[in-house]
Amino acid sequence: MKYQILRKEIDMSGKIRVWVDMGNGETQILKFPKKPTVAEVKTEVDRFLSTKEMNKQNELEMTNRQIADLEARKKQLEAKIK
């Protein structure tokens, strides 16, 4: 994925904050303990995107389990009505 470093600055605690345009209209602020290289920023962007994708997968799996549970409950209730 294409990303662009928008700016870097030091926050009040001395950490480096890097604003990154993620390429999809989303901007993220990443923190680093020292001034990062472009490779370090790329690694953090990749880690962030990987985590985000993993969270989407986990949410999808949880939703599918909930749907399955609700369908089973629906069948139980329909059996009681008959």
Q: What is the pLDDT of residues 14-68, one digit of tens each?
A: 999 999 998 888 999 999 999 999 999 999 999 998 999 999 999 999 999 999 9
pLDDT for the residue 50 = 92
Summarize the confidence of residues 5-14 as an average pLDDT. 93
pLDDT for the residue 3 = 86
Contact 29, 47 (CB under 8 A): no
Which tokens sit at 57? 């997968």
- Per domain, the residue ranges of the chain are 4-81
pTM of the model: 0.69
